Amino acid sequence: MKFPSASLLLAALSLAACDSKVATTGETATSSATVEAVDPAAAETSGTKATAADEANAVPAPDPSTIPAASAGNAAAILARPQVPILCYHQIRDWTARDSKGAKDYIVPIAAFKAQIKMLADSGYHTVSPDQLYAYMTTGAKLPSKPIMLTFDDTDLDQFTIARPTLDQYGYKAMYFVMTVSLGRPHYMTKAMVKQLSDEGNVIGSHTWDHHNVKKYQGKDWETQIDKPTKTLEEITGKKITYFAYPFGLWNPQAFPELKKRGFVAAFSLAEKRDQNDPLFTIRRIIASGYWSPKTLRNNIVQSF
Ligand SMILES: [Zn+2]
């Protein structure tokens, strides 16, 4: 497959980040119906440093590779367990006149983001790691109370400069799905930032080289989009990369064996229904929209999972 030139690519990437995938997920109705003004005052962080980290750490998760294949393969048991809410963020920055209406679902203004995270802490949510989630899904392993997983896609710089310190205030950890083509480019994270996130207890996941749709891969695309970028992330973090997020949330069942044979143990999509035979490779997330007030986010967490 041919790849576009750098400038075209950047344009494509901005479009990719603002992809209209959300329109097919069933989330749009909720998101547009529940648009609310963001109250900047609510964004002030209080001194409520949550015990999230302490409590989450009190529930250690086994290494996924130690969990029997039979547990990971028991789709019925996995589907029967209540889903853990998982939020997906992209850009965290204030809107500009150039941002389209649709893009604003993917761009959460800084005050709105801080207010959303504060709401999670004030509501007693505890962030969990993907290994904790995996152990819970496959074996029913215990999770902290009100578990939630926070994920950040596409390598945007503000995930390091804004999200990271905000989450730190509450002892929260997150999962970052990195698209490697962007590393070190303006407005994106550097390799050193990704390593720091990993060193600080966050988990790095694979999100392809340049955000091409997994459903269209053929031949060398698996190498270009999955093998090489995943190896890059393993070199950066010094850790095995075992979690994947589909660009645009798009997947097909043909992708599952390809991901499994490359060592992935689970993959994340968006709000669409899970695959009934392979729920571990279609773990649901909702995009926390830039339009959502903390209250709207809380309602959507409860309704969607
Ligand atoms: Zn993405």
pLDDT tens for each residue of 9-41: 444 444 444 343 333 333 333 333 333 334 444
Domain span at residue 160 reads 17-43+84-304
Evaluate whether residue 59 is within a structural domain. no
Q: How far is the CA of 178 from the centre of ligand 1 (A)?
A: 8
Is there a domain that residue 200 lies in? yes
DSSP state for residue 156 in the 8-state scheme: B
| pLDDT at residue number 55 | 52
Q: Judge whether residue 222 has pLDDT over 60.
A: yes
Q: Give me the residue label for tokens 């955000």.
A: 211
Query: Three-state DSSP class for 85?
Result: coil
Show the CA angle centred on residue 225, arms to residues 251 and 305, nearest 5°.
35
For ligand 1, an ion, list residues with CB under 5 A: 153-154, 247
**260 domain residue, yes or no:** yes
The pLDDT of residue 68 is above 90 = no
Residue 281 DSSP one-character state:
G
Q: How far apart are CA 269 and CA 256, in angstroms?
A: 12
State the distance from the centre of ligand 1 to the C-alpha of 26, rounded, in angstroms.
18
- Band (5; pLDDT cuts 50, 70, 90): very low
Average pLDDT value over all residues in the chain: 86
* 78 domain-assigned: no
Q: Is residue 239 part of a domain?
A: yes
- Name the residue type at position 151: T
Domain assignment present for 187: yes
Residue 65 lies in a domain: no
User: Residue 57 burial (CB < 10 Å; 0-12/13-18/19+)?
Assistant: middle
Contacts of 83 (CB under 8 A, 6+ apart): 284, 305
Does 56 score more than 60 pLDDT? no
Q: What is the pTM of this model?
A: 0.83
Say whether pLDDT at 8 is over 70: no
The count of structural domains within the chain is 1
Ligand 1: distance of its center to the CA of 246 in Å? 7
Q: What is the CATH number of the domain that holds 212?
A: 3.20.20.370
Residue 137: what pLDDT? 96
In a domain, residue 12? The reply is no
pLDDT in tens, 138-182: 999 999 999 999 999 999 999 999 999 999 999 999 999 999 999
- The predicted pLDDT at position 135 comes to 96
